């Protein structure tokens, strides 16, 4: 799949509370005005027009439900919460859209959860990681024991896989303390 690519792809993945958005923001800031930051319109936790991290860092962002025409004018793209860029919250195939941007020479950095609350891989993140030039896997701290955590656990089952939430709904958990929701 690398044959027709001119740009580079970096994937930053891990569980909730691992610092993915902070890492994405830090990379975006290295590029100044050349960067276009994108976030799913579905993610309504904070302001609609910013990507923000738990360490209070933020950057302006375009909330999208389909690939924006503005992306073609930017040599650097960052996408936060890529796992949300799936039907019915996103029109089209975001991986194909990213591959098109790479073919046009863009440098793309994508952040997102690698697995859902049942420890099943998010297809978008798996597809992107398989073709990434760089794959950064972050860990959080277990909310039970403070040891390294690679899983996102849901406190109670709502029946939804793509569900926006924060500490009221999710925790980071290690292998020992991960359990399915009640």
Strands (E), the chain: 9-14, 35-40, 50-52, 58-60, 62-64, 76-79, 107-113, 134-137, 140-141, 148-149, 151-154, 170-173
Asked if the model's pLDDT at residue 41 lies above 70, the reply is yes
- 144-159 confidence digits (pLDDT tens): 999 999 999 999 999 8
Residue 182 CA: distances (Å) to CA of 8, 104, 155, 169, 179? 41, 46, 7, 12, 9
Specify the pLDDT at position 31.
92
- Angle, helices 123-131/94-103, rounded to nearest 10 degrees: 20
Say if strands 151-154 and 170-173 run parallel, antiparallel, or are unpaired. antiparallel
Token pair listed for 147: 């040891």
Distance CA 48, CA 44 (A): 6
Q: In the predicted model, is pLDDT for residue 1 greater than 50?
A: no
| Buried-exposed string 87-124: b where 16+ CB fall within 10 A, e elsewhere | eebbeebbbebbbbbbeeebbbbbbbbbbbbebeebeb
114-140 pLDDT, tens digit per residue, is: 999 999 999 999 999 999 999 999 999
Distance from C-alpha of 24 to C-alpha of 96, rounded to nearest angstrom: 21
Q: How far apart are CA 64 and CA 61, in angstroms?
A: 9
pTM: 0.93
pLDDT tens figures, 70-103: 999 999 999 999 999 999 999 999 999 999 999 9
**Angstrom distance (rounded) from CA 136 to CA 69:** 28
Going by C-alpha positions, the residue among 5, 10, 16 that lies closest to residue 138 is 16
Q: What proportion of the chain, given as a percentage, has pLDDT over 90?
A: 80
CB 57 within 8 A of CB 98: no
Triad 37, 90, 93: Cα angle to 5°: 90
> What pLDDT does residue 4 have?
62
The domain defined by 9-139 folds into Rossmann fold (3.40.50)
């Amino acid at each position: 799949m690398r044959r027709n690519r001119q740009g580079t792809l970096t994937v930053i993945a891990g569980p909730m509370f691992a610092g993915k958005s902070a890492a994405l923001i830090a990379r975006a800031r290295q590029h100044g005005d050349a960067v276009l930051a994108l976030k799913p319109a579905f993610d309504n936790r904070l302001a609609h027009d910013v990507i923000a991290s738990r360490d209070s860092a933020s950057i302006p962002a375009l909330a999208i439900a389909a690939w924006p025409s503005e992306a073609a004018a930017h040599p650097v793209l960052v996408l936060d919460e890529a796992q949300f860029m799936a039907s019915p919250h996103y029109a089209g195939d975001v991986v194909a859209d990213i591959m098109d941007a790479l073919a046009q020479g863009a440098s793309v950095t994508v952040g997102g959860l690698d697995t859902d609350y049942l420890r099943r891989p998010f297809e978008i993140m798996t597809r992107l990681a398989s073709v990434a030039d760089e794959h950064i896997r972050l860990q959080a701290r277990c909310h039970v024991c403070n040891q390294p955590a690679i899983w996102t656990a849901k406190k109670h089952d709502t029946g939804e896989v793509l569900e926006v939430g924060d500490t009221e709904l999710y925790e980071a958990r290690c292998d020992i303390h991960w359990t399915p929701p009640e």
